[in-house]
Amino acid sequence: MLPYFDSHLHLQSPKCVDQAQQWIEQAHAVGVQQFVINGTSPDDWPAVSELANTFPELVLPSFGMHPWEFVQGSTRWDSDSWFVELRDYLHRYPHACIGECGLDRWMENPDITTQSRAFSMQLELAAAFNLPISIHVLNAWGLCVETLKNSPLPARGIMLHSYSGSTETAKQLLDFGAYFSFSGHFLHQRKAALRETYTQLPLDRLLIETDAPDMLGPEDSLIHADSAPLNHPANLIGVAEGLAATLGIPEETLASQLEQNFHRYFLQA
């Protein structure tokens, strides 16, 4: 049984939180060694914290403000009280991460100005304490690159969660110390061009994720299909198998490299 590490998922989601502890145990039983569980706002940070407390050896908690929280016309997050609370959560855990955060023009009625400010604030915090950061970007790659150019960045680099940009953009992001996380959703037949992008990336900058309970892969990649249409974290094994096939390398080679990458990015001092 090869060891694998899920670099991004959301088991605190209301879709699956009642099954989260069972899912972690089931995924661990088939080889998933650690899970980076990403919060999206102060609303779900307590649930992330609870899972980290329940599974201190398996769960790396990540706390962030997702760009979907910032919608034009909404006054919900007008104050910066969320940022004060974020700092408090980060101080509680020795291996805390920041995220999910980022930029999204694909969503309905995005407040890009507020998204950008929140993203910059979280980048600055990650840089100040050299913390891992999980970045979401959709339809905003130019703005993302520009923001990274003009922001302090953590010395360990940054991680692009479910990276779906171009090869050209990836080459720019490598200059910022980027890691690129591959999702099972990319194994669908229609994502062939995106898989080709991953073949152009350095092997020592790759990570894998399920984004569970979302981003379900094709049926033939599912290790634990009973939870469908929700994505089970045990399906990380199928993600790894699919990425190894995409890259044309033995799964053992990929597993060893992914373990090194995960430890370097998430666990280095």
List the CATH number of the domain containing 60. Answer: 3.20.20.140
* 51, two tokens: 């899972």
pLDDT averaged over the chain? 96
- At residue 54 the predicted structure's pLDDT band, cuts being 50, 70 and 90, is very high
Taking residues 78-103, report their average pLDDT: 95
Neighbours of 159 (CB within 10 A): 26
pLDDT at 259: 98
Instruction: Identify each DSSP E strand in the chain by its residue range.
Output: 4-9, 32-38, 59-63, 97-104, 133-138, 158-160, 178-183, 206-209
pLDDT at 94: 87
Q: 242: buried, middle or exposed (CB in 10 Å: 19+, 13-18, 0-12)?
A: buried
Taking 70 as the threshold, does the pLDDT of residue 191 lie above it? yes
The helix or strand, by DSSP H or E, that contains position 153, with its residue range, turns out to be none
**How many folded domains does the chain comprise?**
1
Q: Which domain holds residue 19?
A: 4-267
Taking residues 222-245, report their average pLDDT: 95
SS3 state of residue 213: coil
Lowest mean pLDDT among 24-33, 102-111, 173-182: 102-111
pLDDT at 78: 85
In terms of residues, how long is the chain? Answer: 269
Taking 90 as the threshold, does the pLDDT of residue 3 lie above it? yes
- At residue 269 the predicted structure's pLDDT band, cuts being 50, 70 and 90, is low
Taking only the tens place, the pLDDT of each residue in 65-78 is: 999 999 998 889 88
- At residue 225 the predicted structure's pLDDT band, cuts being 50, 70 and 90, is confident
Query: Helix, strand, coil proportions of the chain in percent (round to 5)?
Result: 50, 15, 35
Share of the chain above pLDDT 70, in %: 100
pLDDT at 238: 98
Taking residues 167-181, report their average pLDDT: 97
pLDDT at 268: 86
